[in-house]
Structure 1
Amino acid sequence: MIAPTVQQLVSRASDYPFPGARIVMGEGASSGTAIAYYEGFCLASAYEPIFDVTTRGLPQSLTASVESAERFGDELGFQALTLTGDGASFDPFAQMDDDPRLVELDRLSRALHAFNFFGAQRPGLLFLRVHERLLKSVKYDHGKHFSSVLIEFGLNPARIVIELPAAAVAHRTFLGYLVKSYQRYGFKVAGNLPNAGQIMSVSDMARLDFIKMDAGAALRDSVVKPLVGYAHRLKIPLIFSHVADEAQFEALQQFDVSFVQGPAFEAHAIGPGGI
């Protein structure tokens, strides 16, 4: 089955009042991609690559440039970032404090990122962050609404990773419920560790598909090696996020690290214009 294009997805959205009135095709620098409007804000998508350093230099790299493949490897997937129409970072929680409106905006931005990701036929996984406030605003059946939207548009929830914040991962019972709910509706789930020790309990209440740990914190506390070892025993991929610079990347390479992402690779990020 041929995946729908961005244009086709935006056209299909016109059949639904909420996304149809807000998601349109961009113009100028955003030509060929979808953008969204919400209460005076113009939103766009960008994608930060998550590199698999175990594949560095291999010729079968699908999307990374030759230089990127040699230095960092192929991409496991991409972290979706929400930008304003002029390319600046957008933080909805700094703009409004009304939870129902935030839920609307979150659903709109996730649909926007999915349209731009799948419509461009990008390979790999799409990582979408979820804020703690939004998790608490939805009382039950987390993932049900978004899964139904994706399926309605012919998109596969199994290629999306819902990324849970550290505050949710710290609460084991809540974490267990969230993971099971999202996975029940077809998604994969990643959890950000609030601290290195939290990895000891991530499999007690929930079987995460990915674990994330802040690279700077792990290096500062000298816990990269034990984290990698424990993740290997759990058989859960461990991603070191927020890699700040070349020095941190070089330090991580002293250990058996597989996946990395962060500002150090910003030159390789994918903006509104596509790959």
Structure 2
Amino acid sequence: MDAPHYRHPYAYMIPPTIPNLIARSADHPFLCEHLVMGQGLHHDVALAQFDGFELASAYEPIFDISVHALAQSLSSGVEGVDRFGDELGFQAVTHQVDAAPFDVFDPFDRIADDQELVALDRMSRALHAINFFGAQRHGLLFLRVHERLLKSVKYDHGRHFSSVLVSFGLNPSRVVIELPAAAVAHKTFLGYLTKSYQHYGFKVAGNLSNAGQILSVSETARLDFLKMDAGTALRDATVKPLVGYAGRLRIPLIFNRVVDETQFEALQQYDVRFVQGPLFNAHYHDRAV
């Protein structure tokens, strides 16, 4: 079936602000219970209150280094990154309020109950969408989906979140659902998930745990993006074959977790186009919400 055609009363109005979107969340009892406008230093962003935690959004940039000359920009310091590269989009990261934006914190690891996990996932995705679109950020919003969530929701993956976005007057086509490597490893499941999320208007990215996993992608589903750990690919000397195979599949390949300039310079030896990771995050600390 074709993806549904999205048209909403808000679609042609002035882009909504974060307070606008928080107000619209009143139509969703669960979201209304947990999502609020922040106060004090956080007065201009949305926060989530869940199980004793106060959660906020941070955004990790994904750069297109084929644009201009980002490859040369690091010679004058990473602070010059946004003058040379264009952002494909941003990956949302959940963090605790008042903690550093990219400190490791995974609230999902603290939850044993599957239904509570589903609730937290839906809340955090809505939080990140509100802060992303309400701030008029450009590009695509990448949202990770937890492996346990994929098993807890039996069918129609993407239906609920798509309906929430449309009720907010937001277009699901600017959201990339990022599947974990465990899902990519199962060909049939990957095909079902990809088609389901795409049916509801989303783009889909798949994480590769190793270079060999890319061989299963073309047989199962047309993913919109692939992601691979830069350190693993460099260690295993698989950057060049990965770039070549992804090129034949016509699926953009993102090398993530680029931790330092040594890794970045090594990636530049190949036709790598998209990069992401801690090397670039420091420049965005002041933009994180």
TM-score range, shorter chain: over 0.9
Q: Closer, same or farther in 2 for the Cα pair 1:231/1:55, shift >3 Å?
A: same
Larger CA deviation: 262-271 vs 119-128:
262-271
- Mapped to 2, the partners of 1:18 and 1:271 lie a distance apart of 31
Alignment check: 8 A CA contact 2:62 2:89 kept: yes
Matching residue of 1:67: 80
What SS does the corresponding residue of 2:165 show, helix, strand or coil? helix
Matching residue of 2:142: 127
The equivalent position to 1:55 in structure 2, one of 59, 67, 70, is 67
Q: Could you list the per-position Cα deviations for residues 18-68 of structure 1 after superposition, in whole angstroms to 9, with x for gaps in the alignment?
A: 11121111122222110010121101000000000001349xxxxxx9821
TM-superposed deviation, 1:273? 5.0
Q: Closer, same or farther in 2 for the Cα pair 1:80/1:66, shift >3 Å?
A: same
Q: Could you list the per-position Cα deviations for residues 90-116 of structure 1 after superposition, in whole angstroms to 9, with x for gaps in the alignment?
A: 312332211100110010000000000
The one-letter code matched in structure 2 to 1:164 is L
Alignment check: 8 A CA contact 1:25 1:32 kept: yes
Matching residue of 2:9: none
Q: Could you list the per-position Cα deviations for residues 116-169 of structure 1 after superposition, in whole angstroms to 9, with x for gaps in the alignment?
A: 000001110000001110100000000000000000110110000000000000
Identify unmatched segments of 5+ residues in structure 1: 59-64
The equivalent position to 2:89 in structure 1, one of 77, 80, 83, is 77
Alignment check: 8 A CA contact 1:48 1:80 kept: yes
Alignment check: 8 A CA contact 1:29 1:273 kept: no
TM-superposed deviation, 1:272? 6.9
The equivalent position to 2:52 in structure 1, one of 37, 40, 45, is 40
1:6 corresponds to 2:24: no
Matching residue of 1:21: 33
Alignment check: 8 A CA contact 1:160 1:187 kept: yes
Matching residue of 1:195: 210
1:268 corresponds to 2:283: yes
Q: Give 4+ residue runs of structure 1 displaced > 3 Å after superposition.
A: 270-274
Q: TM-score, normalised by structure 2?
A: 0.89
Q: May I ask how many residue pairs the two structures share in their alignment? A: 267
Task: Give the alignment of 1:74-223 within 5 angstroms.
Answer: 74-87=86-99, 88-223=103-238
Alignment check: 8 A CA contact 1:127 1:163 kept: yes
Q: TM-score, normalised by structure 1?
A: 0.93
Q: Closer, same or farther in 2 for the Cα pair 1:54/1:213, shift >3 Å?
A: same
1:229 corresponds to 2:244: yes
